[in-house]
Amino acid sequence: MHLRKHDLLQMDDEWLKKLPAELLLEVSKRLLHDVKELQDRLNQSPTNSSRPPTSRAPWEKPRDAAGEASDVRVENPPEAAAEPATEGADSTAEPVKAKVSPSSSPKGSSKPRGKQPGSPGHGRTQKLAITDTCEHRPERCAACGEALAADAWSQAYTARDEIDIAAPLEGRIGLMFSVTRHTLREVGCTCGHISRALPWRAAADAQWEQVELGEWRLVGPRLAGIIVFLALRLRLSRARLRELLMEMFDLTLSTGVIDETIREAGRASLPLEDTLVADIVQAAQLHVDETSWPESGVLLWLWALVTTHTVLFLIGPRSREMLENALQDGYLGILISDGYGVYRAWENRLRCWPHLLRKLRGLAESSDGRVSGVGQEMEAILKTLMAAIYAARIEPPPEGLPVRYAADIARMQKLCEAHQMDDHPALRSVVREFLYDWKVILRPLAEPHLPLSNNAAEQALRHWVISRTISHGTRSEAGSRAFALLASVIETCRRRGVSVWRYLGTVIRAARTGLQLPALPAIPTTA
Ligand SMILES: [Zn+2]
């Protein structure tokens, strides 16, 4: 869109009549462009909109009418967020209040949460000393497209303050805060039109409900990175985080602003998901596990896809499609999992032996002596084989483990076959599981270097299982998406030995101005 509300208000018949022919042509071209774009938007529905395929979550279903309602918000002029009334600031104003109204509410109500534009503020306000200033000027005339001269008439029309973490001083540790006053100017053109510098703002996106992404923010990118780190990695609740910022840095941020910052960071990280998936699909071995995850009362699953240097978390249903879609063109390496049915579609797969041993222990502890006997015998055989695999990693026997332990393997198979129609449901179920996955379970005997446990995935989930206990899951689809994306970036940064909040700061900075995101931290080379 070339022309915003501010521009159109200046344009009328009188103005057009005064324009020379070549500028009139230029203005017509811009009007035509905008009319075509608006026409296309009117025809847009979730089924034909140009959302990139990657932005559609694996589990996502086509939207109903509710999706259309959110598309209408695309029509909102981007400068709506930049109207002086929203923040109550202009270039000559006193330092603005640190407490701003979050521009969105997570509950889907049309009324933004917190302070309404123009209404008097409540609660604590904070005077912040300005440490830096930054001027924003439009480069070209919005009406005729001519470059605007540096000495053209101009004036400040609004301003905003941004609190961030300043660049570190050489040789000093600790954090310094900066407060930058961003002044937005309007500049006059020779055609008579006045153009305004506008803060960049991402178009509304149905899958992100009311999560806004753009430049007009109180919380700067690096401070946003720290907030995400404190909330997700250190598991501070929004209220605790607010308390920490107030207690340690004399900084007052509402829990609404904190929550909004975290969800915006999730939206900012979305383009990284493709790279995460690409890295995972290339790995030789992939550990997968899942745990339950409530999303506003609905039972979903938090999946962890784990390789040595990359972790991808997804929140969605516990279905095979979920995993297949996440792995896009398919995964050709070795998948390591527990016994859950969705994994059986993968031929190239390993089973977690400690899981199997736990099931056999359950049988061995049965009060039914017959069941207990079978459990104990199978457990003993599996333990023998496990020890043999560990030994073979150091010194493999020349004839190979399947030959050396042929008698044990045959005995276990005989036990399983003998009890596959057993009356005892637990025993029947366990031996059937062994028979069904026989080749997969015994594969490490022939290839003892392969992992025997799914510890990597279980461990990756453990941290977030505690988060689930603290937060009771997530409250909306957008909240879940932001959580999974940020958890993935955090775990991946940690595995690659990179500071989480600093990297996230660079991601958020780029995303807020519509620039390409910095690549994921490089995979460390094994020294
Ligand atoms: Zn002009």
Separation CA 173–CA 169 (nearest Å): 8
User: Cβ(29)–Cβ(23) under 8 Å?
Assistant: no
pLDDT score at 4: 87
Q: Find the 508 Cα to ligand 1 centroid distance in Å.
A: 33
Calculate how far, in angstroms, residue 309's C-alpha sits from the geometric centre of ligand 1: 53
CA of 157 relative to ligand 1 center, distance in Å: 18
The answer to whether 358 and 426 have CB atoms below 8 angstroms apart is no
How crowded is the C-beta side of 492, counted as CA atoms within 13 Å? 27
Cα 20 to ligand 1 centre (Å)? 11
Give the Å distance between the CA of 193 and the centre of ligand 1: 5
CA of 215 from ligand 1 middle (Å) equals 25
Distance 135 CA to ligand 1 centre (A): 21
- Could you give the CA distance from residue 231 to residue 77 in angstroms, rounded to a whole number? 32
Ligand 1 centroid distance, CA of 136 (Å): 18
Q: Give pTM, 2 decimals.
A: 0.78
Cα 187 to averaged position of ligand 1 atoms, centre (Å): 10
Q: What is the pLDDT of residue 44?
A: 63
The C-alpha atoms of residue 138 and residue 198 are separated, in whole angstroms, by: 8
pLDDT values of the chain reduced to their tens digit, one per residue, 527 residues:
888 888 888 888 888 888 888 888 989 988 988 888 888 777 765 555 544 444 444 444 443 333 333 332 333 333 444 443 333 333 333 444 433 344 433 444 444 454 444 444 444 457 789 999 999 999 999 999 999 999 999 999 999 999 999 988 888 888 999 999 999 999 999 999 999 999 999 988 888 888 999 999 999 999 999 999 999 999 999 999 999 999 999 999 999 999 999 999 999 999 999 999 999 999 999 999 999 999 998 999 999 999 999 999 999 888 878 888 887 667 889 999 886 777 777 888 899 999 999 999 999 999 999 999 999 999 999 999 999 999 999 999 999 999 999 999 999 999 999 999 999 999 999 999 999 999 999 999 999 999 999 999 999 999 999 999 888 899 999 999 999 999 999 999 999 999 999 999 999 999 999 999 999 999 888 65
CA of 142 to the centre of ligand 1 (A): 7
Rounding to the nearest 10 degrees, give the CA dihedral for residues 74, 80, 86, 90.
Answer: 150
Distance from residue 196's CA to the centre of ligand 1 (Å): 12
Cα of 443 to ligand 1 centre, how many Å?
A: 73
CA of 78 to the centre of ligand 1 (A): 20
Q: How far is the CA of 198 from the centre of ligand 1 (A)?
A: 16
**Residues 235 and 473: beta-carbon distance below 8 Å:** no
Ligand 1 mean position, distance from CA 436 (Å):
74
Burial class of 41 by CB neighbour count within 10 A (0 to 12, 13 to 18, 19+): middle
Amino acid identity of 458? E
Q: Are 463 and 483 in contact (CB under 8 A)?
A: no
Give which of 42, 54, 21 is closest to 329, Cα–Cα: 54
Q: If you measure from the C-alpha of residue 185 to the centroid of ligand 1, how many angstroms do you get, rounded to a whole number? A: 16
